[in-house]
């Protein structure tokens, strides 16, 4: 993996998570592009569900965008594995309550053989993808690393699912009994960017990087 992938990853995550109008939430145009408009579709499904007969409507529809940021990031970095869940690749498919999480997690929670379990002494770098609380699906969360300084308990990440994008500057990362935690959530699984890039290159599934500037110009964002 070239160092350019790390630089591009940090810039892309920041671009996706800086909301210049915090009041617009999931109506932010960047958020719409990254999630491919699924937040609006989820809102329509929930509204339709609420109008049905309570005895027949079943479970309330659920959508979380936290996994979309990671999937979008890998696409921009040129990765083209079929497990990347994007309309712009092979079409988006709904996968359980946390739609994109299982394709990013290491086993036993997920299906990704490139991902691995996290240990208490791990250090992360820009573009690494973390899965928190993987064994408790209602609180499972995906976050994308920008910077990690373990000796200071510092982890800067880009997060989706608020519902909007946000940079999270967390001075609350700590090790306990051989595991890493961010606040109350355990950091369970990591998809290391260098591992993904190397595997994609070996499988001829790697294309050129699309920088944040290139992406914004292509989709018409200023």
| Neighbour-count burial of 182, counting CB atoms closer than 10 A to its CB (0-12 exposed, 13-18 middle, 19+ buried) | buried
Kindly report, residue by residue over 6-29, the tens digit of the pLDDT.
999 999 999 999 866 655 666 788
Of 75 and 85, the one with more pLDDT: 75
Angle at 179 between CA 176 and CA 182, to 5 degrees: 80
* pTM attached to this predicted model: 0.89
Q: Which distant-in-sequence residues (6+ apart) come within 8 Å of 81 by Cβ?
A: 74, 196, 199, 200, 203, 205
Q: Select, from the ranges 32-41, 44-53, 63-72, 190-199, the one with the highest average predicted confidence (pLDDT).
A: 190-199
Strand partners, 159: 143, 166
Average pLDDT of 134-141?
84
162 pLDDT band, cuts 50/70/90, is low
Residue 187: HSE in the Cβ half-sphere, 13 Å Cα cutoff: 28
Say if residue 165's pLDDT is above 90: no
Question: What residue ranges do the domains of the chain occupy?
Answer: 3-219
């Amino acid at each position: 993996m070239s160092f350019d992938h790390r630089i591009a990853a940090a810039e892309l995550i920041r671009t996706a998570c800086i909301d210049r109008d915090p009041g617009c939430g999931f109506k932010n145009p960047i958020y719409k592009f990254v999630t491919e408009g699924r937040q609006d579709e989820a809102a329509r499904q929930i509204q339709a569900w609420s109008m049905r007969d309570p005895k027949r409507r079943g479970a309330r529809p659920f959508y979380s965008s936290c996994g979309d940021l990671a999937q979008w990031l890998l696409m921009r970095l040129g990765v083209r594995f079929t497990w990347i869940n994007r309309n712009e690749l092979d079409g988006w498919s709904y996968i359980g309550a946390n739609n994109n999480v299982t394709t990013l997690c290491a086993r036993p929670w997920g299906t990704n053989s490139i991902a691995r379990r996290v240990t208490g002494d791990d250090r992360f770098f820009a573009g690494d993808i973390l899965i928190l609380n993987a064994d408790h699906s209602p609180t499972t969360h995906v976050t994308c690393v920008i910077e990690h300084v373990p000796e200071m308990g510092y982890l800067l990440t880009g997060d989706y699912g608020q519902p909007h994008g946000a940079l999270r500057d967390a001075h609350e990362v700590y090790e306990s009994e051989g595991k890493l935690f961010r606040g109350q959530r355990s950091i369970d699984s990591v998809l290391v960017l260098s591992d993904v890039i190397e595997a994609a290159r070996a499988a001829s599934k790697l294309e050129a990087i699309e920088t944040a500037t290139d992406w914004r110009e292509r989709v018409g964002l200023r």
